[in-house]
């Protein structure tokens, strides 16, 4: 396991020698340490990225850059088991989920390798003008130096979502992973070193937000900030970026609804609702944590949801058969347990869960939790809990369900279950969210755009939309006529 900072193609120690403990959330015990960068290290990394951007990297063909991305994808796949286990030790998620994530990360690099190759053909577009004396074309060019700050819920996958399209576009990048889950980002740096990615193209700095993240946000040589995390931090980052008019893309939180209509298969609905809230311990920005169920099936649905939730195997993510691991940290456990207690105080009923599992004396575990009677003005209904906690409420009509679903400051995702195709299309069109799932919840594909409405963020990641995040657009117009140009009309 790596400990240093990866800057300008080399492993270096932080200028001030800072260290951070790495804790296994399944045990609460320290098992490693990593470097803690400060402003001096950030400046070193950004300077390296600027030098690389001023060099050959953005001048390479997309096909040449794509070759590096394909090599990175191949190395990730070759080490999938090893990297997945490291992800579990660092983050806590069950090993099958980690393997899924690491495989997706490799696929992300392959996908953007393909877009980099296509970029050579699509980089320049000719524009048809109404005046034949002029020709015009539009060129797409790499944006510059990117500062990327990623969260702890999908450590390597979130790194891939930003690093892969940025490199494909010809940008250089300084990646700052979450301090709680930095190990696989450091392994990505090691892989970049193995494939001989040019120095400075990818730099990885570890450390806490105030000492490493904030200097990256503030650095004058950073052209774009790409951030995934909480709305509160996203707002601060956006305000800081405004001082130097940095480009910004933000993927923030959500309080996503799941509408269950009375014509659906209840068993399938229960399965998808559980996947929508208990996958990754509910630590998912798009988690469908507000479940709205038609009143005619509400009682039966709730009964089955509770029965299935109580069957979930909880434990160390490396143990066979575990479906729900620990929360990522002691702080996150305290936040989730505190949110459950606050929900009780504000009138909600805890139908199941809400406690530490009896057989787990250490680690950051909480049972899958189902809340009912949740007041519409309560924090549990309105705010993101980011844990395995779901609120269930009945509705009487399609119009009421849509109104309740849209009554939120967030708009990342929404889901619905129905056997009526016309209703599915009608409701999907009415939901104010950037992602809508019909008869499912949480599937994500690298080819499709990811991002939200309202306070869930700005811009889109993934697909060609994620690639375009890292490009600038330049108009080049030429006067091609032999006629003298009249500067004014007499």
Which of these, 247, 102, 119, 117, lies nearest to 188 by C-alpha position? 102
Whether residue 488 lies inside any domain: the answer is: no
Separation between Cα atoms, residue 192 and residue 167, nearest integer Å: 11
For 246, which DSSP code? -
Residues 171, 278, single domain; the answer is: no
Active site residue 251: yes
Residue 289 belongs to a domain with what CATH number?
3.40.309.10
Residues of the chain with pLDDT > 70, as a percent, come to 99
What pLDDT score does 122 carry?
87
Task: List the one residue out of 11, 72, 7, 2 whose CA is nearest residue 34.
Answer: 2
Residue 429 domain boundaries = 257-438
Q: Are residues 207 and 352 in the same domain?
A: no
115 located within any domain: yes
Q: Are residue 153 and residue 39 in the same domain, yes or no?
A: yes
Residues 365-393: b if buried by 16+ CB within 10 A, e if exposed? bbbbbbbbebeeebbbbbbbbbbbbbbbb
Domain count, the chain: 2
Largest Cα span, the chain: 91
CB 295, CB 396: distance < 8 Å = yes
The answer to whether residue 240 is domain-embedded is: yes
- Do 147 and 29 share a structural domain? yes
- Single out the residue of 112, 98, 26, 86 nearest to residue 316, CA to CA: 26
- Indicate the average pLDDT of the chain: 97
The answer to the question of residue 62 being in a domain is yes
For residue 340, is pLDDT > 90?
yes
- What's the whole-number mean pLDDT along residues 196-225? 98
CA angle, corner 146, sides to 141 and 150, nearest 5? 135
Indicate if 383 and 400 belong to the same structural domain: yes
pLDDT category at 351 given cuts 50, 70, 90 is very high
* Cα–Cα distance measured from residue 229 to residue 317, given in angstroms and rounded to the nearest whole number: 23
* Same domain as 268, residue 244: no
Answer yes or no: do 352 and 376 share one domain: yes
Q: How many CA atoms lie within 13 A of 321 on its CB side?
A: 3
267 and 120 in one domain?
no
Same domain, 228 and 344: no
**490: in domain:** no
Are 184 and 142 within one domain?
A: yes
- Distance, CA of 162 to CA of 173 (rounded, Å): 9
* 226-259: pLDDT as tens digits: 999 999 999 999 999 999 999 999 999 999 999 9
Average pLDDT over residues 137-143: 97
Q: Is 9 a domain residue?
A: yes
Whether residue 346 lies inside any domain: the answer is yes
Cα–Cα distance, 32 to 24 (Å, whole number): 9
Task: For residue 301, give the nearest of 218, 365, 248, 372 by alpha carbon.
Answer: 372
Q: What gap in Å lies between CA 271 and CA 273, rounded to an integer?
A: 6
Mark whether 247 and 264 lie in a shared domain.
Answer: no
Does 76 fall in a domain?
Answer: yes
CATH number at residue 21: 3.40.605.10
In the three-class reduction of DSSP (H, G, I as helix; E, B as strand; rest coil), residue 13 is classed as coil
pLDDT over threshold 60, residue 489: no
Tell which phi-psi region holds residue 259, choosing left (phi > 0), alpha (psi between -120 and 50) or beta. Answer: beta
Q: What is the CA radius of gyration of the chain?
A: 24
Which pLDDT does position 194 carry in this prediction?
A: 98
My answer on whether 234 and 378 are in the same domain is no
DSSP annotation string for 383-452: S---SSEEEEEEESSHHHHHHHHH-SSEESEEEEE-S-HHHHHHHHHHS--SEEEES-S----TTS-B--
Catalytic hit among 87, 97, 187, 251: 251
């Amino acid at each position: 396991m790596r400990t240093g900072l990866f800057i300008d193609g080399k492993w270096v120690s932080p200028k001030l020698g800072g260290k951070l403990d790495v804790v296994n959330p399944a045990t609460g015990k320290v098992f490693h340490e990593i470097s803690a960068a400060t402003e001096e290290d950030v400046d070193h990394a950004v300077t390296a990225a600027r030098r690389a951007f001023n060099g050959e990297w953005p001048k390479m063909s997309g096909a040449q850059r794509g070759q590096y991305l394909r090599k990175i994808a191949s190395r990730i796949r070759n080490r999938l088991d090893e990297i997945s286990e490291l992800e579990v030790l660092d983050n806590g998620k069950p090993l099958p989920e980690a393997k899924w994530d690491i495989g997706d990360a490799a696929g992300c690099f392959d996908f953007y390798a393909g877009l980099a190759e296509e970029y050579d053909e699509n980089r320049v577009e000719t524009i048809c003008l109404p005046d034949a004396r002029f020709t015009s074309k539009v060129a797409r060019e790499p944006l510059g130096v990117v500062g990327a700050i990623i969260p702890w819920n999908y450590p390597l996958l979130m790194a891939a979502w930003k690093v892969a399209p940025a490199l494909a576009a010809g940008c250089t990048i300084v990646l700052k992973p979450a301090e709680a889950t930095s190990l696989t980002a450091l392994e990505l740096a090691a892989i970049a070193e193995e494939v001989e990615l040019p120095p400075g193209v990818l730099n990885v700095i570890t450390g806490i937000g105030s000492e490493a993240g904030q200097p990256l946000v503030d650095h004058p040589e950073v052209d774009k900030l790409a951030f995934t995390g909480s709305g509160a931090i996203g707002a601060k980052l956006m305000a800081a970026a405004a001082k130097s008019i940095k480009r910004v893309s933000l993927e923030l939180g959500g309080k996503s609804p799941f509408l269950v209509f009375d014509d659906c298969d209840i068993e399938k609905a229960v399965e998808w609702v559980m996947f929508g809230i208990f996958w990754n311990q509910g630590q998912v920005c798009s988690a469908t944590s507000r479940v709205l169920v038609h009143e005619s099936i509400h009682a039966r649905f709730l009964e089955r949801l509770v029965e299935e939730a109580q069957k979930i195997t909880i434990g160390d993510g490396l143990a066979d058969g575990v479906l729900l691991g620990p929360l990522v940290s002691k702080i996150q456990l305290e936040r989730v347990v505190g949110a459950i207690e606050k929900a009780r105080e504000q009138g909600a009923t805890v139908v199941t869960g809400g406690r530490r599992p009896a057989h787990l004396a250490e680690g950051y575990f909480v049972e899958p939790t189902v809340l009912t009677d949740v007041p519409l003005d309560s924090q549990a209904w309105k705010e993101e809990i980011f844990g395995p906690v779901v609120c269930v409420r009945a509705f009487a009509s399609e119009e009421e369900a849509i109104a309740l679903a849209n009554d939120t400051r967030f708009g990342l995702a929404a889901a619905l279950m129905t056997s009526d195709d016309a209703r599915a299309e009608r409701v999907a069109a009415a939901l104010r969210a950037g992602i809508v799932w019909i008869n499912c919840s949480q599937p994500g594909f690298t080819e499709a755009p990811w991002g939200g409405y309202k306070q869930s963020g700005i811009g889109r990641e993934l697909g060609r939309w994620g690639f375009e995040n890292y490009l600038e657009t330049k108009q080049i117009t030429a006067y091609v006529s032999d006629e003298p140009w009249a500067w004014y009309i007499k």
